Structure 1
Amino acid sequence: MPVPSFTPYEGLLPSEADPATFPARAEALMAWFTQTGAPQLAAMASFLDSIVGEAETLVDAVAALRDEVDLEALVPTGQVGTFYAVDAPAGWLALRGQVVERAAYPALWAFAEASGALDESGADVAQFGPGDGATTFRLPDARGEFLRGWDDGRGVDAGRALGTAQTDANRAHHHKLYTASMSSGSVGGFGPGGYAPGVGGGNNIGTGSYQEAGNSGVQLVEDSGGSEARPRNLAVLICIKT
């Protein structure tokens, strides 16, 4: 629908400062309003009403679409997410290594079977487990863990399967260890008949040499820190979409 046009009044407005022209100007203004202004304003009002009506129709259509479309379904089953909450929101399960019913979460069980991270032995708690082998399955236990991108053949973290756990480690490095040092050299003695203060005269003290004693074995640097290696972090609840 085209936007209605509006023609502004181009005549002179009535003014009390010019009483002689007031009647004629007022009559001309009224004629413009009756013939031009009012019809154009009515068309403009009708146009605005139609816009409001179309907007209301659009709002109703969006509401109906929202009711028909399950927004939760837009998040795929098996997606992992983190939440600042002690319990998982609706449609999610916390990864606590718990056993759940296959019948209660058929989509998640199908995902686990096809994920490549299902440990049939049930020994690896970082992967899905078979549960009782018939009616249940176990979720991975992500509590207290950092998530790391699967190497997938890149060679940065080689030799790991999807979903496997890894212990903490520090990269190999060196520490300097400083020790006191002494120089090698020789000492002189006294010949026969010589005199050494505090020793008695007439005795040969003799000569000798000395050398710095070397250190052997493993030198340890005093340790410090806690029971694991970790960066700064925030504690969140790791969950999986059902």
Structure 2
Amino acid sequence: MDGRIKDKTGLVMPVGSIIPFAGQTVPEGWLLCNGAVVRSDIYPDLFAVLGTHWGSGNGQGTFNLPDLRGHFLRGRDAGKGKDPDAASRTNLSGDVVGDKVGSYQNYEFRRHTHGATATTSFPRVAGGAGDNSGIPFDNSYACGCETNSTNITTSVSLSEEGGEESRPINAYVDYIIKY
């Protein structure tokens, strides 16, 4: 036994299967998912599966391999409603293609809000009548019964936190595709 898992047909992975790979050298029968342009006559079985979903290469008997460098994989929504932006997904050229295998989405932060609290204090007013509550008042009134209204402007700034992207804890692998 050579350490490889086999099913009844001797094949484990169908052509077009993508797996994470932790090795340094891509094994025989697999290609790196790096967006390379490859010829359909050299990889006819893979072209039969992929077509030009991942790009049409130079348009003359070629096609692109998936380019999964720096990407997380996501299962196609297929009408489930888990991806609210499924209809706006694009291909490598940036054309909107919708909910299709081979489409991409750019990064995005989920909409959220931040709370802020501002505290303003007034100095106590020295001398004169009044209730000494700390609200400024006009000392010219003998009884101290009337106060002037005061416009207060307070600015609040929120400090920036985080890095350049939203991401879960992760580890690098190469993605490879069976041909």
Q: How high is the TM-score relative to the length of structure 2?
A: 0.70
Relative to structure 1, is the Cα distance of residues 221 and 82 closer, same or farther in structure 2, using a 3 angstrom cutoff? same
**How far is 1:153 from its partner?**
0.5
Partner residue in 2 for 1:136: 62
Does 1:112 find its partner at 2:50? yes
Partner residue in 2 for 1:77: 15
**How far is 1:134 from its partner?**
2.7
| CA distance in structure 2 between the aligned counterparts of 1:82 and 1:169, rounded to whole angstroms | 24
**How far is 1:87 from its partner?**
3.0
Percent identity over the alignment is 33
Equivalent pair of 2:137/2:148 in contact (CA under 8 Å): yes
Once the two structures are superposed, what CA deviation does each residue of 1:4-31 show, in whole Å capped at 9, x if it has no partner?
Answer: xxxxxxxxxxxxxxxxxxxxxxxxxxxx
Quick check: which has more Rg, 1 or 2?
Answer: 1
Once the two structures are superposed, what CA deviation does each residue of 1:48-97 show, in whole Å capped at 9, x if it has no partner?
Answer: xxxxxxxxxxxxxx9xxxxxx863x3311011111102332111111001
Does 1:95 find its partner at 2:21? no
| CA distance in structure 1 between the aligned counterparts of 2:148 and 2:77, rounded to whole angstroms | 62
Equivalent pair of 2:120/2:154 in contact (CA under 8 Å): no
| CA distance in structure 2 between the aligned counterparts of 1:236 and 1:104, rounded to whole angstroms | 26
RMSD: 2.6
Equivalent pair of 1:87/1:237 in contact (CA under 8 Å): no
Letter in 2 for 1:170: F
Does 1:180 find its partner at 2:119? yes
Equivalent pair of 1:87/1:94 in contact (CA under 8 Å): no
Partner residue in 2 for 1:47: none
> Which of 156, 165, 169 matches 1:232?
169
Letter in 2 for 1:108: L
Partner residue in 2 for 1:213: 152
Relative to structure 1, is the Cα distance of residues 100 and 226 closer, same or farther in structure 2, using a 3 angstrom cutoff? same
More helix by share: 1
Where do 1:2-81 residues align within 5 Å? Answer: 71=10, 73-81=11-19
| CA distance in structure 2 between the aligned counterparts of 1:188 and 1:105, rounded to whole angstroms | 92
Once the two structures are superposed, what CA deviation does each residue of 1:178-200 show, in whole Å capped at 9, x if it has no partner?
Answer: 21224755332277xxxxxxxxx
| CA distance in structure 2 between the aligned counterparts of 1:168 and 1:186, rounded to whole angstroms | 54
Partner residue in 2 for 1:223: 160
Letter in 1 for 2:163: G
Partner residue in 2 for 1:4: none
Does 1:168 find its partner at 2:107? yes
Structure 2, unmatched stretches of 5+, are 2-7, 88-97, 123-134
> Which of 66, 74, 77 matches 1:148?
74
Structure 1, unmatched stretches of 5+, are 1-61, 63-68, 120-127, 192-206
